Amino acid sequence: MLETKQLTPVETSPIFSKMVDNSHKNLVFCMDKATGLKAIIAIHDTTLGPAIGGTRMWHYRSEADALDDVLRLSRGMTYKSAITGLNFGGGNAVIIGDYNRDKSEALMRRFGKFVNNLNGEFVTAQDVGTTLKDMEYIRMETPHVVGLSEALGGSGQTGPISAYGVYMGIKASVKELWGNDSLSGKSVAVQGIGNVGEHLVRLLRDEDARVYISDLDDDRLTAVARKHDAIIVPNNQIYDLDVDIYSPCALGATVNNETLKRLKCAIIAGSANNQLQDEEVHGQLLMDMGILYAPDFLINAGGLISVYSEISGGGKKRALQQAENIYKVTLDIFRMSKREQITPNQAALKIAEKRIADIRSLKANS
Ligand SMILES: NC(=O)c1ccc[n+]([C@@H]2O[C@H](COP(=O)([O-])OP(=O)(O)OC[C@H]3O[C@@H](n4cnc5c(N)ncnc54)[C@H](O)[C@@H]3O)[C@@H](O)[C@H]2O)c1
């Protein structure tokens, strides 16, 4: 008789448990010694369509941080598409490295080959640390890239339309709190004046809001302050300002235990993905503190709307109309949040998850 040997249980890998936690579908690790490429592609959900998401290049403190970022970003993309009514799933990619020092044509093209191997299950676009030029390099290796320059038939920079969507979300939040949506005389702290932030500053200043700005790039700060008559504040003081609105437009997780002790605003509404360090904990804390939070994945969907128009052929006018609709959806979310006594983030997730579940069952039964 064969002796059966008892196998010792395999220690649970933090990678797999992290995938299980948020039901991720696929995770691809991309490595190329010749170009120094180290990247991770995460596919969260493809119920509504191919997983779409940016490729971010960032000097992460650790590979674990990069993994956490890509898992959170890809999940956010699923809900962003779902709540905006687009037929995309959610995915994202991160390239680990300093975009000023480590980027090259060969590295981006090698990354493009990894994207191509996924046969269209993942479609990528520009994000923090990548440019339209990088998208052109990726396009040399795969058709599964959007947000190309207008000269190449793409929809061009997504910053302006993303900023417009965020502006709509801010106006809806102001209407919810103060009964009318005028920004004249309102004070806004914009953290990060990059592609989205600068356009947002312009829209806010056009409506006569008082705008404070911070960024890591001093030259850019001076130029934007001069161009739009905005007030520069040192990075570490942005959370202490006595303003009506805090608008995070740099990186995520800036709403956390530390900053919540300092923030004095009535509204948080910005473009950065994953602004709440912990959705449940900090979403609830904001509600308890009486700070109105406009869900990031809802109001920053302008860029996605823009690249969707590139694929669907909807055109700029249609994309602008869809971005304008963020105003109405944001107000609907606030109403649902009040009615059901849940946070605005939970309300937005509930609507997005319902759409995904409905379409999943429609597909299963057809
Ligand atoms: N570009 C889009 O269409 C789009 C769409 C949706 C969401 N977003 C998100 O919005 C945010 C901004 O996007 P972007 O395209 O403007 O990026 P960007 O790289 O052009 O600009 C980001 C800016 O933030 C600054 N910054 C970084 N860390 C900072 C800090 N700690 N304090 C102050 N400033 C800091 C950078 O110096 C840079 O100027 C990102 O989180 C991005 O994921 C962008």
Distance 111 CA to ligand 1 centre (A): 22
Annotated binding site for NAD(+): 192-197
pLDDT at 359: 96
Query: Cα-atom radius of gyration of the chain, to the nearest Å?
Result: 21
Q: How many CB atoms lie within 10 A of CB 235?
A: 13
pLDDT at 22: 78
Cα maximum dimension of the chain:
86
pLDDT at 4: 56
Domain boundaries, the chain: 24-75+88-151, 159-353
Q: Give the binding-site residues of ligand 1, using a 6 Å CB cut-off.
A: 127-128, 158-159, 162, 191-197, 214-217, 220, 235, 249-251, 271-273, 300, 303
**Which segments within 204-347 are labelled E, that is strand?**
210-214, 231-232, 245-248, 267-268, 292-293
Amino acid occupying residue 313? G
Rounded to whole angstroms, how far apart are CA atoms 134 and 107?
10
**Would you call 80 helix, strand, or coil by DSSP?**
helix
DSSP bridge pairs for 268? 246, 293
**Would you call 128 helix, strand, or coil by DSSP?**
coil
The top-level CATH class assigned to 159-353 is: alpha beta
**Are 24-75+88-151 and 159-353 the same fold in CATH?**
yes
Q: Is 90 exceeded by the pLDDT of residue 281?
A: yes
pLDDT at 315: 82
Q: How does pLDDT run across 56-106, given as a tens digit for each residue?
A: 999 999 999 999 999 999 999 999 999 999 999 999 999 999 999 999 999
Distance 193 CA to ligand 1 centre (A): 7
Q: How does pLDDT run across 152-172, given as a tens digit for each residue?
A: 878 788 899 999 999 999 999
Under DSSP, the state recorded for 239 is: G
Cα angle for residues 359, 362, 364 (degrees, 5° grid): 110
Q: How does pLDDT run across 248-276, given as a tens digit for each residue?
A: 999 889 999 999 999 999 999 999 999 99
Pocket probe for ligand 1: among 86, 127, 131, 276, the residue whose CB has the most ligand atoms within 8 Å is 127
Ligand 1 atom 39, closest CA? 194
Ligand 1 atom 38, closest CA? 194
Across 131-145, average pLDDT: 95
Cα angle for residues 109, 123, 27 (degrees, 5° grid): 85
Short-list 337, 274, 321, CA closest to 79: 274
What is the arrangement of strands in the sheet containing 267-268, beginning at the earlier edge strand? 231-232, 210-214, 187-191, 245-248, 267-268, 292-293
Answer for the pair 17, 67: CB distance below 8 angstroms, yes or no.
no
Distance 248 CA to ligand 1 centre (A): 9
Ligand 1 atom 11, closest CA? 272
Ligand 1 atom 5, closest CA? 303
CATH superfamily to which 24-75+88-151 belongs: Leucine Dehydrogenase, chain A, domain 1 (3.40.50.10860)
0.80 exceeded by the pTM? yes
DSSP bridge pairs for 191? 214, 248
pLDDT at 204: 98
Pocket probe for ligand 1: among 196, 307, 310, the residue whose CB has the most ligand atoms within 8 Å is 196
Helix orientation angle between 326-340 and 315-324, rounded to the nearest 10 degrees: 30
